[in-house]
Amino acid sequence: MRTGGEGWTKWVLLGTLALIWGSSFILMKKGLFHAGSPVLSPWQLASARLAIAWLVLSPLLLRHGALLRKHWLPLLGTGVLGNGIPAFLFATAQTRIDSALSGMLNSLTPLFTLLVGALFFGTRLRTGHVLGILFGLVGAAGLILWNSAPGGVRWSPYALLPILGTVCYGCSANIVKRHLYALPAAATACLALSFVGPFGLLGMEATGIRDTLATTPHAWSALGYTALLATLSSALSLVLWNALLKRTSAVWASSVTYLMPVVAIGWGLYFGETVSAPQFAMIGVVLAGIWLVNRAERTT
């Protein structure tokens, strides 16, 4: 039986993750642009994010490194799918779409967590699950099509990138829940990042980030935002996320995306981004889908 303290812990973890991850989209935008002018490239930002997050957690390897040999395959999977690929997808998307829209699309994570679980991990689907997935996909299509300008409709292929990122997150959540459940949360985080962090260092060198820092105005401040993004949204949040997964189901844990769009939209509006009424309606459709999925989870 779950104790009252344990129940409060999962809600505290959920709220903290929502605040951190909901703020990550505006941090990416700050790393990519200064006053509308490009600073770091998306590949530079993503590479630096992975490298810095790995370096922050690397001291934990002294304690947990021995677990790598036994669990290397699922750790590789969650490292690549939960950190590596999404870092580049979201950074590239933010060069063409608003951070608020990225945050809204990221709310599809619970739906793809369920769908991936049903397709590859034996998760049982109920009618509520199917309806929730359909609602989420309709809402995502609306978010992609509607421009932030009032009444505007515009196809943006870059909005597909965050959706692909949520598919990766869904795969990673199922891998952690199924194969890495017994590992300490900090061990899963540092070992998973050990597969992608070194490639981040190579990526920083390959993309010429040192020249960018030496020649591009505001590059150092952009790198500072990237370091904050890496430390909070990749390193610390990964430990918290794995701790949450140990206390609840993968789909329930993914409901952190109920709250993330609120944080992301708030930061976007604060920094001058616009969100249209149709976009608010579509995020409502997505959240209705997530609610249906979580309702079905509670009755399973």
Q: Indicate the Cα dihedral angle 54, 40, 159, 148, nearest 10°.
A: 130
- CA-CA distance, 64 to 139, in Å (whole number)? 41
Q: Using CB atoms within 10 Å of the CB of residue 5, give its burial: 0 to 12 exposed, 13 to 18 middle, 19+ buried.
A: exposed
Residue 207 has pLDDT above 80, yes or no: yes
Cβ pair 52, 196 in contact under 8 A? no
Angle between helical axes of 68-79 and 160-179 (0-180°, round to 10): 160
Please compute the mean of the pLDDT values over residues 243-251 and round it to a whole number.
78
Q: Is the dihedral of CA 25, 159, 34, 196 positive or negative?
A: positive
**What pLDDT, in 10s, does the model give residues 131-183?**
888 888 888 888 777 755 444 545 678 989 999 999 999 999 999 989 998 89
SS3 33: strand
Residue 139 vs residues 59, 99, 131, 166, 214: alpha-carbon distances, Å: 42, 17, 12, 14, 43
**Token representation of residue 119:** 């397709």
Cβ pair 162, 170 in contact under 8 A? no
Tell me the pairing of strands 37-38 and 33-34: antiparallel
**What pLDDT, in 10s, does the model give residues 18-39?**
899 889 999 999 999 998 899 9
Half-sphere exposure of 119 (CA within 13 A, CB side): 10
Residue 10 has pLDDT above 90, yes or no: no
Cβ pair 164, 106 in contact under 8 A? no
**Stronger pLDDT, 210 or 128, i.e. the higher one:** 210
pLDDT at 1: 43
The partner residues of 33 in beta bridges, in order of sequence, read 38
This prediction has a pTM of 0.86
Residue 283 vs residues 17, 146, 149, 204, 298: alpha-carbon distances, Å: 19, 11, 16, 35, 23
- Length of the chain equals 300
- pLDDT over 70, % of the chain: 93
